[in-house]
Structure 1
């Protein structure tokens, strides 16, 4: 892949993160339609019964209900070929039910790393590692 193609993929990923930080479910859904392949391969814990871009939309729906002010800070990106890796810090205030935990009002901060594979200028595959244990500990759902 050319350097320009790699730069375009990184720019697309930054557009995606900027959109999810809007906190607007409709804006996020439209961005997923535009930036993500409909048959997205999504290798992360997702709600059962959904695949592709629809699964990603559902993930953001759940996150926004639980953490309406959720913010993804991209700490660094690494690009190579058709892949972009993003190391992120996520913050938000727990205002809605999450993983069976009722709202606590607590502010949470956790880390995640995602690898995005691009095809035809769109996100075609996502692999992620999210520090869910840290998140659940901060919500009081697990012992410290």
Structure 2
């Protein structure tokens, strides 16, 4: 498996250690909910907020584009909010959130991940 397949497997397996191990030493992650790029175990801790709120979280990957160490993946995040979301109680609502993730890969390691999704849509779907 390549590191991108392992990345999605770690997300689906709720495996923070496996997720973080795919990054280069200077690798970073950022999405609309992070106020700055995350490094190391902060990446795993951020993923855990999603796993706690959406224990059945799955990314349906719809398109992948590759060029010279850059990979773009379009996806839809699906799950039911049966856990706490950043201190808020479970809403029981189903999430179907479209988004995309851009990867920069160097020597089979993730140098950067930038995920894009609409926070307003996420919060509306969570009923917050």
Identify whether the pair has TM-score above 0.5, normalized to the shorter chain: yes
1:38 aligned residue (7, 12, 25): 25
SS in 1 for 2:84: coil
1:66 and 1:33 mapped to 2: Cα distance? 20
**Structure with max Cα Rg:** 1
Name the counterpart of 2:48. Answer: 61
Residue deviations 1:83-140 (CA, integer Å, cap 9, x gap): 1001010011101221443201111110111110011101111112112211211122
Tell whether the 8 Å contact from 1:46 to 1:55 is kept in structure 2 after alignment: no
Name the counterpart of 2:6. Answer: 15
Tell whether the 8 Å contact from 2:93 to 2:127 is kept in structure 1 after alignment: no
What's the CA shift for 1:31?
1.5
Higher percent of residues as helix = 1
Name the counterpart of 1:114. Answer: 101
1:43 and 1:29 mapped to 2: Cα distance? 16
Cα root mean square deviation, aligned: 2.0
SS in 1 for 2:6: helix
Higher percent of residues as strand = 2
Number of aligned pairs? 127
TM (norm. structure 1) is 0.78
Unpaired segments ≥5 residues, structure 2: none
2:87 and 2:20 mapped to 1: Cα distance? 29
2:45 and 2:35 mapped to 1: Cα distance? 7
